[in-house]
Structure 1
Amino acid sequence: MQLLAECGIKILHHEVLNLVKRNGIKVVGETAYFSEEQLMAWVKKAPSGFTVYARNPQYDMFLGGDKVEFAPGYGAPSVIEENGQVRPALMRDYVNFIKLFHQSKYHNINGGVVVQPTDMVSIKSRPVMFYLSLSGSDKCLMAGTGELNEAQTILEMAALAFGGKEELIRKPRVMTIINMNSPLIIDTNMLENMMEYVKIGQPVVIASCTMAGSTGPVTLAGTIALSNAEILTGIAVAQMIREGSPVLYGNQTTTADMKTGSIAIGSPEGALCYTISARLAKAYGLPCRGGGALSDAKSLSVQSGYESMMTLMATAQARTNFIIHSAGILDSYNSMSYEKFIVDLEIIGMVKRFIQGIHISQDTLAVQVIKEVGIGGHFLGTEHTMENCRKEPFLPEISLRGRVMTDPNELLAEHIQNRVEKMLAAYEKPALEKETDQKLVDVLVAKGFDPRPYIQL
């Protein structure tokens, strides 16, 4: 609050700056200065939870309270192969990951910028990717933040597919990320995207990714204070644009590596920031985003395993409502990996089982069963075991247990590869009305975003 009152925050958008000024906020040049009372009056207008609706209602998501939802990765321009080789991400990879996330039992949302394809011009890619995710999956939808005309085209398609803008306001369908520019700037492009989404009631993640030691103070308390100021300002501005707009408090703050200056996403400092940010959001009565199965490792490795488990466990234990980068991310957000995607699904399953805890009842205490088995007996053949053996323990899909007669590393790699192939082979494209599909393609072609070369991928 002291930072916003005394240092202020730069808002690089004339219309938004005037809006802020009209609402009584002190503005000097492009810098706005909020008092605590002013800021919190607007933050309190944001809903404490909201539902995002899917084409298939079984995937509808409520975001708020202690509900935890997992979401795809976002923005990686590269793919790391099984052998550790790095190659540019292609549109084929984007489609493959859409299929994999559609097949995942842990994900109710799909799309966004799962990878950033390098075989298509970046500023023309977001609407095409949105079309491919909308037509290729009937889960809730993410959309990539791009140029203004990209955002307008994406929302035009969403309105066309889901009954018009008023229906979108009533039942939000599309989420995007609005990133703050640390320290203390909200740039023009992000504000343009925010205005487009917020005006028709689509949820936005107001996100800060301050790096302690480079874009924020090296001490975590200072860097969290800085990112908190940025996020709360973004939320307040969103409410000024349209009161009651669904927003997520999206702190993705971590530390910078002091040897290289690069971001360190798989660090204990990151896990601490994600945890504390969730507590802050809940204190403000806001749904939150943070964390993921994050790793700075350069390949699927021991490092990728222990970093991803730490960050995902910390985030899920904090009951973070929306966890982007939950499967497949490597190399400090730079790369996705098919193999790590499968490993991360296993981690998600383990973490979900852990936070589920232990249910206490007469049946689970099993006193009568213990008495019947008696001293020195065993429980493998009891009816109680048969009834609960698929419900109580976590059943791994790739992990090795028991005695292994072959090379365990080779066997694990085989399990992972088989799982990728089975998920892709089992994928069935959900039906989309042909007339609607053609209208979506026509809109894209008319606006210079031709999806036709990629439809059959």
Structure 2
Amino acid sequence: MNDNVKKIHEASMRILNKTGMKFYHPDALEILKNHGIKVDGNVAYFTEDQIMEWVRKAPSTAPLYASDSRFDMQIGGNRRYNGPCGGATFIMDKDGQTRPALFSDFIKLIKLFEGNPSYCLNGGLACQPNDIPTESYITLLALASMLHTQKCIFAAAGDYESMETLIQMACIRFGVTVEELKEKPRLCTIANTNTPLYLDKIMTETVLTMAKYRQPVIIASAAMAGTTAPVTLAGMIAVVNAEVLATIALAQMCEPGAPVIYGSQSTNADMATGAIAIGSPEGALSYKYCAEMAKFYGIPSRAGGSLSDAKSFNVQAGYESMMTCMACKESGINIMTQSAGIIDSYLAVSYEKLITDFEILDFIERYLKDIDVNADTVPLDLIHEVGHAGQYLIEEHTLDYCRSELLAPHVSVRGAIADPVGQFEKNIEKRMEQLLKVYQKPDISTEICRDLKALLLKEGIDEAYIDMAVDS
């Protein structure tokens, strides 16, 4: 075990015992008091024994089921999954110009993630459209996700009412009862703690509802070293760990054994501007330690992504994204959300960057696959036969292995090309067209669509917006 992990754990235990964690929701405070946790006002103080008693009840694997069983997930262990981008309010063009994201962009992003076989999770808050009411985001985006993907459903966080509606929607979409939904979870979402050291009312209601119905919830901190957390990474990670563990303990007190995922989207602030720096080496280290801490507690992990602060689709967008993505993959993060498309410090999604991030994911997966050394992959007889000045291009061994051994990139430009810059742009466009072309909308019965629509109408959602999701 990394000695730093043990030191961070010990520091977090002292933080929770001396400083405590603030909970703003009365339901959370009642649960904590009923389980013997010292509460003063709205601050809860935990001993190490109390925290670890409840954290140990969290399962080591969080299952999640899709409408197409090929995309079922077992989140935990050595398994690594990719998740969609989330939260951006703008779409960025190649020249760096931005425009407000639309509902049609959200659905286009779902289709692109759906067409990529590297994804089992889809939906969430891929972007925040400005042409639908903000108070209807959670249900409308979930509706679009449920109608346009056969993969596991990622959803947004919300209050009790919104989360209960999501549960009803999932039961209708998958044709299951509430008890069957508990047995085979169909929804996953993220609940963010607030750094430093508190949990707000909305996120509390997300955590408690997901735990109640035993749907996996990612409990994540998004601290910024130097502004919302200590500037030293060790100090920030200790605070993050305290926040996440206290919230995991709350979830387990609500529903022992409920699936939770240890998350961190923490990074540093840029000390020159105070702005968040998501494409930094410090962020990459934070994601690495998210994986390490989750392994220490035996809980699945979520962090990171292909992240960049670049203001346009440029070389900065490439090298920062490769670094943050590689850090997540090498450290063993179980779910890497924000895996493609995010640019300008979470403010925007770039379609061109999304396609190149898909390529980054392919490159890293090939690298992590390593090599297989055996009598076939080291063909000694062939090497002897070809000798000192021959070639292998037309050998049968090359034909047998060239497709499985070597990654054929979709976007990268190789060889002699008259216009490499233009070809690169053409390759991106071609790949995007391919992914959209292979997309097939799930075959969902008219009865399911009718019942989903009726539920949302009952919740007061404007029919015009519902039809935008249904008819796209």
- TM-score greater than 0.5 by the shorter chain: yes
CA shift, 1:388, in A, is 0.7
CA shift, 1:398, in A, is 0.9
CA shift, 1:25, in A, is 0.8
Q: Which residue matches 2:142? A: 130
Superimposed CA distance per residue, residues 45-76 of structure 1 (whole angstroms, 9 cap, x where no aligned partner):
00111221000000001111111100001111
Matched-pair contact (CA < 8 Å) for 1:123–1:147:
no
User: What stretches of structure 1 move > 4 A for 4+ residues in a row?
Assistant: none
TM-score, L = length of structure 2:
0.95
Distance in structure 1 (CA, Å) of the matches to 2:401 and 2:273: 51
Distance in structure 2 (CA, Å) of the matches to 1:361 and 1:63: 31
Alignment partner for residue 202 of structure 1, among 215, 220, 226? 215
**Which ranges of structure 1 fall in alignment gaps of 5 or more residues?**
none
Matched-pair contact (CA < 8 Å) for 1:26–1:32:
yes
CA shift, 1:386, in A, is 0.8
CA shift, 1:368, in A, is 2.3
Alignment partner for residue 357 of structure 1, among 370, 391, 398? 370
Is 2:117 the partner of 1:105?
yes
Q: Which residue matches 2:327? A: 314
Is 2:285 the partner of 1:272?
yes
CA shift, 1:420, in A, is 1.6
Paired residue secondary structure (1:389):
helix
Structure 2 counterpart of 1:180, one-letter code: T
Distance in structure 1 (CA, Å) of the matches to 2:247 and 2:383: 57
CA shift, 1:430, in A, is 1.4
Distance in structure 2 (CA, Å) of the matches to 1:26 and 1:330: 43
Percent of aligned positions that are identical: 44
Alignment partner for residue 128 of structure 2, among 116, 122, 129? 116
Distance in structure 2 (CA, Å) of the matches to 1:91 and 1:224: 36
Q: Which residue matches 2:22? A: 10
Q: Which residue matches 1:220? A: 233
Q: Which residue matches 1:191? A: 204
Superimposed CA distance per residue, residues 112-152 of structure 1 (whole angstroms, 9 cap, x where no aligned partner):
00000011111112111111111111000000113432222
CA shift, 1:423, in A, is 1.9
Q: What's the Cα RMSD here?
A: 1.0
Matched-pair contact (CA < 8 Å) for 1:281–1:288:
yes
Paired residue secondary structure (2:304):
coil
Distance in structure 2 (CA, Å) of the matches to 1:119 and 1:147: 22
Greater mean deviation of Cα atoms: 334-343 or 356-365: 356-365
CA shift, 1:280, in A, is 1.1
**Which ranges of structure 2 fall in alignment gaps of 5 or more residues?**
1-12
Alignment partner for residue 405 of structure 2, among 380, 392, 395? 392
CA shift, 1:161, in A, is 2.1
Alignment partner for residue 152 of structure 1, among 161, 164, 175? 164
CA shift, 1:446, in A, is 1.2
CA shift, 1:421, in A, is 2.3
Distance in structure 1 (CA, Å) of the matches to 2:27 and 2:158: 19
Alignment partner for residue 347 of structure 2, among 322, 334, 339? 334
Alignment of structure 1 residues 169-188 onto 2, 5 Å? 169-188=182-201
Paired residue secondary structure (1:365):
coil
Is 2:49 the partner of 1:37?
yes
Distance in structure 1 (CA, Å) of the matches to 2:43 and 2:62: 31
Distance in structure 2 (CA, Å) of the matches to 1:154 and 1:359: 45
Greater mean deviation of Cα atoms: 168-177 or 144-153: 144-153
Structure 2 counterpart of 1:371, one-letter code: H
CA shift, 1:393, in A, is 1.1
Q: Which residue matches 1:230? A: 243
Alignment partner for residue 165 of structure 1, among 174, 178, 189? 178
CA shift, 1:369, in A, is 2.1
Q: Which residue matches 1:448? A: 460
Is 2:310 the partner of 1:297?
yes
How many aligned positions are there? 456
Greater mean deviation of Cα atoms: 6-15 or 140-149: 140-149
Q: Which residue matches 2:381? A: 368
Matched-pair contact (CA < 8 Å) for 2:158–2:205:
no
CA shift, 1:372, in A, is 2.4
Paired residue secondary structure (2:262):
strand
CA shift, 1:284, in A, is 1.0
Q: Which residue matches 1:430? A: 442
Matched-pair contact (CA < 8 Å) for 2:122–2:149:
yes
Paired residue secondary structure (2:340):
coil
Distance in structure 1 (CA, Å) of the matches to 2:314 and 2:49: 49
Distance in structure 2 (CA, Å) of the matches to 1:237 and 1:37: 14
Distance in structure 2 (CA, Å) of the matches to 1:241 and 1:35: 19
Superimposed CA distance per residue, residues 144-192 of structure 1 (whole angstroms, 9 cap, x where no aligned partner):
1134322221111012222011111111110000100000001111011
Matched-pair contact (CA < 8 Å) for 1:66–1:319:
yes
CA shift, 1:418, in A, is 2.1
